Amino acid sequence: MIDAEEEYSKNPSRVSLRQEPLDIHSLVRENIKKLTPYSTARHEFKGKATVLLDANENAYGSPLEDNFNRYPDPLQWQLKFAIAKIKGVPAENIFIGNGSDEVIDLAYRIFCDPAKDNVIICPPTYGMYEVSANINNVPIKKVSLTRDFQLNVTAIMDAVDANTKLLFICSPNNPTGNNMNRQDVELLLNNFPGIVLIDEAYINYSKQKTFIQELTEYPNLIVMQTLSKAWGLAALRLGLGYASMDIIDIFNKVKPPYNINEASQELAIEALQHTEQVNAWIKEVVSEKEFLVSKLLKLPFVEKIHPSDANFILIKVKDANALYQYLAKNEIVVRNRSKEILCDNCLRITIGTPDENLHFLKIFAAYE
């Protein structure tokens, strides 16, 4: 196994030790390689169709004004074109899932043989990486973040074995809110022998640039984003995966044929026309976060507020369990992260509207 820190110290800007190009298909489960995907008649039909009698739909329409009697586009091309225009990534390099959770689940089902292959996660981090692994019966190797919530590159590489297929990196991280050091991530992309999934759910609030522009450089890279956070579309359940066409083709092969419903597609396309509104919200969230932090630091029972590049903060208090219960009794819901490693007595608090933040501060400051 390489000494990542030694190599990093020699060339901190970029370490490229991979002796030959990584063969993505060698990482795919054998049954997935042999899988014949479900194919609709509209996948197979070539040409213009004026009468649709192939899918056993209700040809009379639906009780709603919109034409929801027809099945949606299984590959969501119009939505992908709208996303591609904003992100500067070809539509062919985009996968749309029923939330990022579907992207995570499909990665397990494509690359990990149950009870044989393993994955690496870096707690404290997003809980669905572990939940999805357990659902798919895939062993997990946990390599904790450092005390300052950064990746332990050497420990990650030391944890790799012949059956390690996936590495999950959340940046900005949930629940800590910080970005991972970009050079550490690049080092892992250059050396990890499997698929690296970078979860950028909170990237819109971050000062660090996205990794989606690096897709051509790293064939083993999958970048996850979402329309649930900054775009305010959590109810639509739209997760985004960006990757090479080789990987996207496999995802499309394995996913259910109509995983994104027509209403979600139409509403998302409409929402994507309002980038100015979203950018204004992002600026206000960042401003409100600074305001909230400045007020919370003055309270005697707040011991630390960790730096955050997300739309939430992680604060360390004297007794998180008691404070959580106090807030709940006052009809304020936050996230108690005290049971997470490195998060003793920590609460995760989302940045709300100015009125919500003032109300929260009033209740919070009255705690004794």
- pTM, to two decimals: 0.93
Query: Where among 243, 271, 299 does a domain terminate?
Result: 271
DSSP secondary structure, 325-367, as one string: HHHHHTT---EE-TTSTT-TTEEEEE---HHHHHHHHHHHHT-
Which structural domain range is residue 223 located in?
Answer: 4-271
**Quick check: 4 pLDDT over 70?**
no
Domain co-membership, 61 together with 137? yes
Contacts of 363 (CB under 8 A, 6+ apart): 327, 330, 332
Domain co-membership, 11 together with 156? yes
Query: Where among 271, 305, 327 does a domain terminate?
Result: 271
Domain co-membership, 251 together with 329? no
Domain co-membership, 235 together with 119? yes
Contacts of 269 (CB under 8 A, 6+ apart): 78, 79, 82
DSSP-assigned letter for residue 91: G
pLDDT digits (tens, 9 = 90+) for 56-110: 999 999 999 778 999 999 999 999 999 999 999 999 999 999 999 999 999 999 9
Query: Where among 253, 271, 289 does a domain terminate?
Result: 271
pLDDT digits (tens, 9 = 90+) for 34-54: 999 998 887 778 888 889 999
Domain co-membership, 258 together with 287? no
Report the CATH number that the domain containing residue 344 is assigned in CATH: 3.90.1150.10
The interaxial angle of helices 128-135 and 100-111, nearest 10 deg, is 40
- Structural tokens at position 70: 């027809």
| Cis bond before residue 256 (omega within 30° of 0) | no
Contacts of 352 (CB under 8 A, 6+ apart): 288, 360
pLDDT digits (tens, 9 = 90+) for 155-211: 999 999 999 999 999 999 999 999 999 999 999 999 999 999 999 999 999 999 999
Domain co-membership, 249 together with 325? no
Max CA distance (Å), the chain? 71
**Quick check: 343 pLDDT over 70?**
yes
Domain co-membership, 72 together with 207? yes
- Structural tokens at position 168: 């999950």
Q: How many domains does the chain have?
A: 2
Domain co-membership, 136 together with 149? yes
Neighbouring-strand partners of residue 315: 305, 347
Task: Find how far residue 251's CA is from the centre of its chain.
Answer: 16
Report the CATH number that the domain containing residue 49 is assigned in CATH: 3.40.640.10
Domain co-membership, 327 together with 266? no
Region of 351 (left: φ > 0; alpha: ψ -120 to 50; beta: rest) is beta
Domain co-membership, 166 together with 231? yes
The interaxial angle of helices 354-365 and 275-296, nearest 10 deg, is 20
Domain co-membership, 263 together with 284? no
Residue appearing with tokens 């507020």 = 305
Domain co-membership, 104 together with 143? yes
pLDDT digits (tens, 9 = 90+) for 20-39: 678 899 999 999 999 999 98
